[in-house]
Structure 1
C-alpha cells in the first residue's frame, strides 16, 4: 500500500542531515504533487546563556534563517516542486514542528535529519528528530546521510 503524502514538512537547520532530508522531501513532494513546507525554528533558548545578549544576535539568526530558507525554496523550485512554502518561527523546534506546525498545515508527513547542528541539546535533552517521532500525529521520515559523504 503506497502512502499519498500531500502536505510534507521538512525540518531545516543548515546541517548536512537537513540537506539530505530536504532532497528526500522534494522527491516525495514531486512524486505526490504535494505541498512542501520548508520549516526552520529559531530556538531562542540557545541565546539565553550569552551574557552579552543583545538584539543583533537574534537579528543575525533571523537573517541567516531567511537566507537559508530562500535558498532551499529556490532549489525546490529547480527540482520541480510546485510553490514550496517557507515557515520560520521562534521557540522549541521539538514542540513547534511536531505539534504546532504539523497541526496548522495538517501535515501528512514530516521529514527530518537524524541529527542536526545542536549536539549539546541532543546530549542533554534528546534530539529534535526523536521528539518529532514520538509526538507527531502524522508519519515521520528520519533521514541519515551516507557515512562516505
Structure 2
C-alpha cells in the first residue's frame, strides 16, 4: 500500500505490444527511483477463444504467448535489479487489471495508451480508459509512440 515514502507496489499490465513495453520501461524508471517493486499482469481474454472447436488449445496458446511476454518482463526487471512478480489471469483485461490491483494492494497502475480518437476508440473500446474510470488507485498513462 502507499505509504508516506511513496508508491511501493506498481502494476504494469502487458500484452506483448510495443506500447506495453514502453509502459514497462517507464515503470522500471519509476520503480528504480522509488525503490518499488513491479507486478506485471498478462490477461488472457477467454472470449478470444469462443467459437473455436479447440477452445482449450486456443487458450493454452494465448497463455504460452503470455508466458513469453512475462519472461521478457522478468528479464528487463532483473537487468534493472527491480523486484518483480508476474502472473497470467483469465478474464476481460480491464476486469483482470482492476481485480488484481485491488486483491494485491497495488499503489499505482501504469498503462500504455494509443491515443485513439473518434470512431477507432469507439469501435475498439479502451481497456486503459475503463481502468482509469474504475480504479481505486492512481493510473499513470504512457503514450505509445506513433506507429
Please indicate the TM-score interval, normalised by the length of the shorter structure. 0.7 to 0.9
- The CA deviation at 1:93 is 0.9
Calculate the TM-score normalised by the size of structure 1: 0.85
Alpha-carbon distance in 2 for matches of 1:86, 1:33: 18
Residues 11 and 38, structure 1, Cα contact 8 Å, conserved in 2: yes
Q: How large is the RMSD of aligned CA atoms in angstroms?
A: 2.2
Alpha-carbon distance in 1 for matches of 2:6, 2:131: 20
Calculate the TM-score normalised by the size of structure 2: 0.86
- The CA deviation at 1:31 is 1.0
Q: Count residues in correspondence.
A: 140
Matching residue of 2:117: none
Matching residue of 1:118: none
- The CA deviation at 1:123 is 4.1
Alpha-carbon distance in 1 for matches of 2:57, 2:145: 36
3-state secondary structure, aligned to 1:13: coil
The more displaced of 21-30 and 124-133 is 124-133
Note closer, same or farther for the CA distance 1:3–1:139 as it changes in structure 2 (3 Å cut).
farther
Alpha-carbon distance in 2 for matches of 1:97, 1:80: 24
